[in-house]
Amino acid sequence: DIVMTQSPSSLAVTAGEKVTMRCKSSQSLLWSVNQNNYLSWYQQKQGQPPKLLIYGASIRESWVPDRFTGSGSGTDFTLTISNVHAEDLAVYYCQHNHGSFLPHTFGGGTKLEIK
């Protein structure tokens, strides 16, 4: 199974700051046929289901503000939130969606707290 490792497990920032969280996969999520990375990010606020934030490593869902940026390729990925807002308080999970590898495992999550 592909292991997804997220770091840090939690972090606390002040509103307006920039934050970066990481997701590392034990195997490459880049499909050589189309050069796409099959990595997604989800945001889960307290008491709510997860919401898809980013797919294909860097493509934002339509509802996502442009202060959220996904980047990376292969085995190393990052989610950056510039100018953090209080409403960004949540746990962020990465997941691999590569069709050749099952299960589609999630990372352990990064809990974002606002000071």
Partner 1 sequence: EVKLVESGGGLVQPGGSLRLSCATSGFTFTDYYMSWVRQPPGKALEWLGFIRNKANGYTTEYSASVKGRFTISRDNSQSILYLQMNTLRAEDSATYYCARDGGITRYYAMDYWGQGTSVTVSS
Binding residues for partner 1, per CB under 8 A? 1, 36-38, 40, 42, 44, 49-52, 55-56, 59, 61, 93, 95, 97, 99, 102-109
Closer to partner 1 by CB, 70 or 88: give it: 70
Closer to partner 1 by CB, 1 or 113: give it: 1
Q: Quote the CA–CA distance of 111 and 103 in Å, as a whole number.
A: 23
CB 43 within 8 A of CB 95: no
CB of 49 to partner 1, least distance (A): 4
CB of 89 to partner 1, least distance (A): 16
CB of 97 to partner 1, least distance (A): 4
Q: Between the CA of residue 43 and those of 13, 38, 96, what are the distances in Å?
A: 17, 17, 15
- 37: tokens are 């990375």
Closer to partner 1 by CB, 24 or 104: give it: 104
CB of 82 to partner 1, least distance (A): 22
Q: Quote the CA–CA distance of 39 and 2 in Å, as a whole number.
A: 12
Q: Quote the CA–CA distance of 13 and 57 in Å, as a whole number.
A: 24
